[in-house]
Structure 1
Amino acid sequence: MQLKTLAAVAATLVASASLAGAQERITYKSAKSGSSYYQMGVEIAEAVKAGTDGGMIVTIEESQGSVQNVMEVRARGGDFVFTTPPALVGLAQSGKAMFEGKGDPAFDEIRALFPIPSLTMHFVMSEASGVKDLASLEGKTILLGKGSFGATEGEKYLKLFDLIDKVTLADAELSNANDALKNGQIDGFVTAGSWPAPNVIEAAASTGVTVLSLSDEQIAQTGRTKLVIPAGTYAGQDAEITTTSLPVAAFTTTKMTDEVAYELTKTFWEERARMSEVAPWWAGVDPALMETVEVKFHPGAIRYYDEAGIALSDAQK
């Protein structure tokens, strides 16, 4: 028994020495360049390089979206890491929705590593509009933007709460939202992204805004995950904002070795606090977010969570 234990320790030391002795390269595919999620990838790459003393190098790859990221696991190797909402992994593995007729055994090999900031809904209204809740949107002009998750989700909520025919939808790009708000062309806009969201920070500082909260009943109707944005996140925000979110996580496949998955996961969590000092959106990532990743985790990641005392559900193991 003692010899077996010594052999296991020796094997672990050899694996660790192997990782330390040779530079491990990872490809991280997230989102379009210029987006907040692409910037998060850059921050992760810098953190991993610093946290492993250059032993692990992460190269960022631009992506056209989460569906493409999932599809690419069919042709990628053990160095591939990508981001997507966990719900999309479930759809891929069951061959539903956008993955109907496109099933592949590779999808069953997808494994989670760690959560990253969630896509968080923001209903942003100018102070001048006087709007304090969703019911007060009637008669107002709202900018949803086009083609983004936030635009699709915002339209869904307006229909869900019987507001779609009671508001005027501005025909403009979301990139023009702050100017339009400042000039009084719109009363508010809807955006989805990690919090604190840069465009909401700008609007709060320059125009003065109210970010609307949803009731627990409204959140339940949307079918999304509840998220609370702490008071003081945005200028003039004295109370918590209760809203909805779509969890997002970093994934790989079983092709990645246990040791690499362990080191990558461990380094991410150990560097997260320092990352949050530079980019506040990392402050919203904590062990409580783990339960939103309803996908099996990589064995190497599970090893780290066991060591760190972070509980995983049976479905995540």
Structure 2
Amino acid sequence: MFTSALRLSLLAVAGIALTLPASAETRITYKSAKSSSSYYQMGVQIAEAMKAGTNGDIIVTVEESQGSVQNVMETRARGADYVFTTPPALVGLAQSGKAMFEGKTSPKFADIRALFPIPSLTMHFVMSKESEVNDFTDLEGTTLLLGKGSFGAREGTKYLKLFGLEGKVKLAEVELSNAVPALKNGQIDGFVTAGSWPAPNVIEAAASTDVNVLSLTDEQIAKTKRAKIVIPAGTYAGQETAITTTSLPVVAYTTTAMDDDTAYQLTKTFWETKAKMSETARWWDGVDQGLMGTITGKIHPGAVRYYEEAGFTLTDAQQ
């Protein structure tokens, strides 16, 4: 009799256990950038924030990448767990089969959907105070370090051409990693760098010597065909006024293969933990609702649900 009663009790417990919801751990792969870059570090911060913000329900693994083009291309072979970062312009090129995506189109490119913006690639023209350069008209005759092969180097070269300075500025043959010591010892008058603000090398330069970060006029920004961005006063040592410059927006994307609930939770957790991330990395201060306008394509329906709940304003093209 005791054995029968025990057996019935165990069956009852088993029945209750079967009715309880299983702990659903969702695993996400986040493809960012080279491991030495600030964008890879951002990915690590997002992974930590997702784990903490969802009590371990979402686990993000950060993968190194060789760049944004690779990130977009991999949507052809990836599944529902894939999140990647890239400028919105590259998504548009992929979906239209233009530029670097010519002859490499895929139906899966049409399924790319945005989740949330991350810090933009922001242009910095950093000049020593001794150079007495206060705007681009003063650059003629100076020695400038652009670096090689980077987005900042390409943009810097483009701006010199646009503003009539090609051949009028001496370009230093120094690696960008040596920009700060080269500026301090007078080897160069200034350097150009692009990254999330506040940029670590600009912080270092401003802390070790007097610098002036140039602003662009609205007319100059229009010529660059880049987004306008304002770096608040006080971001860098000695910077008493805001810096108006250009940026290349960067966004975290997935595809329609991801289910709505996961996209909703990723987006909700990102925005709700952004302030906490800003406590240890100030570049998150540059992400606010104003960057939503840089998303030129469609947003994932799950993310749209969060934005509607949170009172964000979305365009018809984004939904």
TM-score, length of structure 2 as denominator length:
0.93
Match of 2:259 in 1: 257
For residue 279 of structure 2, give the secondary structure of its aligned residue in structure 1.
Answer: helix
Q: Paired residue for 1:166, among 144, 165, 168?
A: 168
Cα deviations across residues 192-243 of structure 1 (Å, max 9, x unaligned)? Answer: 0000000000000001210000000000010000000000000000000000
Match of 1:30 in 2: 32
Match of 2:211 in 1: 209
Q: Paired residue for 1:52, among 19, 35, 54?
A: 54
Q: Paired residue for 1:182, among 157, 164, 184?
A: 184
Matched, 1:111 2:120: no
Q: Paired residue for 1:65, among 42, 64, 67?
A: 67
For residue 278 of structure 1, give the secondary structure of its aligned residue in structure 2.
Answer: coil
| Residue identity in the other structure for 1:299 | P
Match of 2:12 in 1: none
1:264-275 matched pairs, under 5 angstroms: 264-275=266-277
Measured in 2, the distance between the counterparts of 1:284 and 1:167 equals: 31
**Root mean square deviation of aligned Cα:** 1.0
Measured in 1, the distance between the counterparts of 2:175 and 2:259 equals: 43
| Residue identity in the other structure for 1:211 | V
Measured in 2, the distance between the counterparts of 1:292 and 1:172 equals: 34
Measured in 1, the distance between the counterparts of 2:123 and 2:68 equals: 18
The Cα shift of 1:96 comes to 0.6
Show structure 2 runs of 5+ residues with no match.
1-19
The Cα shift of 1:173 comes to 1.1
Measured in 2, the distance between the counterparts of 1:110 and 1:251 equals: 7
Match of 1:219 in 2: 221
| Residue identity in the other structure for 1:71 | M
Match of 1:86 in 2: 88
Cα deviations across residues 235-275 of structure 1 (Å, max 9, x unaligned)? Answer: 00000000000000000000101010000000000000111
Match of 1:120 in 2: 122
Matched, 1:243 2:245: yes
Measured in 1, the distance between the counterparts of 2:289 and 2:311 equals: 10
Cα deviations across residues 258-317 of structure 1 (Å, max 9, x unaligned)? Answer: 010000000000000111111000011011110111110001000000100101100000
| Residue identity in the other structure for 2:206 | A
Match of 1:309 in 2: 311
The Cα shift of 1:172 comes to 1.5
Measured in 1, the distance between the counterparts of 2:270 and 2:33 equals: 19
For this pair of structures, how many residues does the alignment match?
300
Match of 1:6 in 2: none
| Residue identity in the other structure for 1:172 | V
Measured in 1, the distance between the counterparts of 2:253 and 2:224 equals: 26
The Cα shift of 1:95 comes to 0.5
Match of 1:96 in 2: 98
Q: Paired residue for 2:76, among 74, 77, 87?
A: 74
Match of 2:193 in 1: 191
Measured in 1, the distance between the counterparts of 2:209 and 2:51 equals: 39
Give the % identical residues.
75
Measured in 2, the distance between the counterparts of 1:179 and 1:57 equals: 40
Structure exhibiting the larger radius of gyration computed from Cα positions: 2
Matched, 1:284 2:289: no
For residue 21 of structure 1, give the secondary structure of its aligned residue in structure 2.
Answer: coil
Show structure 1 runs of 5+ residues with no match.
1-16
Measured in 1, the distance between the counterparts of 2:143 and 2:192 equals: 11
For residue 299 of structure 2, give the secondary structure of its aligned residue in structure 1.
Answer: coil
Q: Which runs of 4+ in 1 moved over 4 A?
A: none
Measured in 1, the distance between the counterparts of 2:214 and 2:107 equals: 43
Measured in 2, the distance between the counterparts of 1:130 and 1:58 equals: 47
Measured in 2, the distance between the counterparts of 1:54 and 1:260 equals: 13
Measured in 1, the distance between the counterparts of 2:306 and 2:267 equals: 7
Match of 1:231 in 2: 233
For residue 206 of structure 2, give the secondary structure of its aligned residue in structure 1.
Answer: helix
Measured in 2, the distance between the counterparts of 1:84 and 1:68 equals: 9
The Cα shift of 1:84 comes to 0.1
Match of 1:7 in 2: none
Measured in 2, the distance between the counterparts of 1:129 and 1:25 equals: 52
TM-score, length of structure 1 as denominator length:
0.94
